[in-house]
């Protein structure tokens, strides 16, 4: 005698699983990349410094959001870090998303919830700059990460 009964009221296909079981707020996919190399710059504008903190994600719906977490090791006299979607800075145009000053090493993280409004492959990458002196990211036997989550809209 069965102890439970499964009644299929709304899930009729794979697409049904997406809409019925993975509603708004569900995590649909996660992509990550890392970089353990020290990158340094004196650039007054945001640059990658050749870092590999770059992920490409293809949203399954234009209404979905992308939640990004960046975990970095930084050292700077007066430096700023941000995220670019393609060629677009999705942080503050001048202030980015986080900063470091006073030549103190910091292991930290910053996040961004983005609405790319596309179903095309979209690339996010960490950029940084130096308002004065030299800005460093990575190195010192540290591992840095960027992780992108697609969130159902």
Partner 1 sequence: MKNKIIEAILKINPTAQVSVSEEDINSIVWENDTPPIPKDQILAILPQVEKEINAINNRVKEYGSWQSQLDEIYHEGLDAWKTRIASIKAKYPK
Contact string 74-103 vs partner 1 (x = CB under 8 A): -x---------------------------x
65: contact with partner 1 by CB under 8 A: no
Choose the binding region for partner 1 from 59-67, 86-94, 117-125, 136-144 (rule: CB under 8 A): 136-144
SS3 15: helix
What single-letter DSSP state applies at residue 19? I
136: contact with partner 1 by CB under 8 A: yes
The Cα-based distances of 113 to 7, 14, 85 in angstroms read 36, 27, 12
SS3 14: helix
Rounded distance, CA 37 to CA 121, Å?
26
DSSP H/E element including 95: none
Choose the binding region for partner 1 from 3-11, 14-22, 25-33, 47-55 (rule: CB under 8 A): 47-55
In angstroms, what is the minimal distance from the CB of 136 to partner 1?
A: 6
In angstroms, what is the minimal distance from the CB of 123 to partner 1?
A: 19
């Amino acid at each position: 005698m069965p102890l439970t009964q499964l009644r299929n009221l709304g899930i009729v296909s794979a697409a049904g699983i997406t809409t019925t079981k993975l509603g708004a707020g569900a995590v649909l996919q996660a992509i990550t990349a890392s970089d353990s190399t020290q990158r340094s710059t004196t650039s007054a504008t945001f640059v990658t410094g050749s870092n590999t903190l770059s992920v490409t994600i293809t949203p399954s719906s234009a209404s979905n959001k992308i939640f990004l977490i960046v975990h970095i090791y930084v050292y700077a006299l007066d430096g700023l870090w941000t995220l670019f979607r393609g060629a677009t800075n999705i942080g503050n145009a001048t202030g980015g998303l986080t900063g470091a000053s006073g030549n103190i090493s910091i292991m930290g993280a910053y996040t961004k919830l983005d609405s790319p409004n596309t179903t095309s492959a979209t690339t996010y990458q960490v950029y940084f700059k130096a308002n004065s002196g030299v800005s460093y990211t990575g190195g010192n036997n540290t591992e840095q990460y960027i992780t992108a989550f697609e969130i159902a809209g």
